[in-house]
Amino acid sequence: MGSLANRIEEYLKGILDQAEEGYIIFQRGFLADFFSCAPSQINYVLTTRFTAERGYLVESRRGGGGYLRVIRLGLDPDGKFQRLMAELIGEELSQERANNLIDRLEEEEIFTKKEAILIKSIFADSIFVDLVPSPEILRARMMKEILANICRDDINV
């Protein structure tokens, strides 16, 4: 059996797959009890496996009636995804964050497996060594350009 973090991630994704609303709401303590773990383990999974780059938004409300909401971000025709990604990418993008975003776009079938591998290779740190003073800035600009072109309606394939 996989690690606890993997099991928690799979469980939450399974529930999300069944949620008609596109989100789930739960209490951290309940989930920690369910998996017999510390609430900090739930936090770890949410902050590392349910990031915006991977296509999720996590909202939290603390207190006695507190809850966590995990929202699956979709790719929509109105360009909301493109704007959100541009905001999330910001001015710099690490190789790890770029790879997470590429994985998400592959999951959504925007990229094929081969396209994802190709784009990841272009964004690899080894490409930028000694050539670019700030690979994170160049990587962010490149990713924004890719997203802008992927989301265009006027491209005929």
Structure tokens at 111: 């990229």
Note the pTM of the prediction, 2 decimals. 0.57
Residues 137-155 as b/e (b if ≥16 CB within 10 A, e otherwise) read: ebbbebbbebbeeebeeee
Same domain for 109 and 132?
yes
What total of structural domains would you count in the chain?
A: 2
Region of residue 33 (left: phi > 0; alpha: psi -120 to 50; beta: else)? alpha
Residue 154 has pLDDT above 50, yes or no: no
Cβ neighbours around 84 below 10 Å, total: 15
Q: The CATH number of the domain where 134 resides is what?
A: 1.10.1200
Inside any domain, residue 155: no
- Do residues 124 and 102 both lie within one domain? yes
Dist. CA 52–CA 119, nearest whole Å: 19
Residues 104 and 126 in one domain: yes
Let me know whether 15 and 60 are in one domain: yes
pLDDT of residue 129: 79
Q: Which among 17, 39, 72 is the end of a domain?
A: 72
Asked if residue 56 belongs to a domain, the reply is yes
CATH assignment of the domain containing 48: 3.30.56.130
Residue pLDDT, tens place only, 34-71? 999 998 999 999 988 988 777 787 888 776 667 888 88
Within a domain: 66: yes
Residues 62 and 14 in one domain: yes
Q: Are residues 65 and 101 in the same domain?
A: no
Residue 135 scores a pLDDT above 70: yes
What does the alpha-carbon distance between residue 127 and residue 129 come to, in Å, rounded to a whole number? 6
66 and 86 fall within a common domain: no
Least confident window among 34-38, 78-82, 124-128: 78-82
Bridge partners of residue 60, in order along the sequence = 68
Do 57 and 114 reside in the same domain of the chain? no
145 within a domain of the structure (yes/no):
yes
**What confidence score (pLDDT) does residue 5 get?**
93
**Is pLDDT of 12 > 60?**
yes
CB 60 within 8 A of CB 66: yes
Q: Domain check: are 49 and 87 in the same one?
A: no
Q: How many CA atoms lie within 13 A of 95 on its CB side?
A: 12
**100 is in which domain, residue-wise?**
80-150
Mean pLDDT computed over every residue of the chain: 82
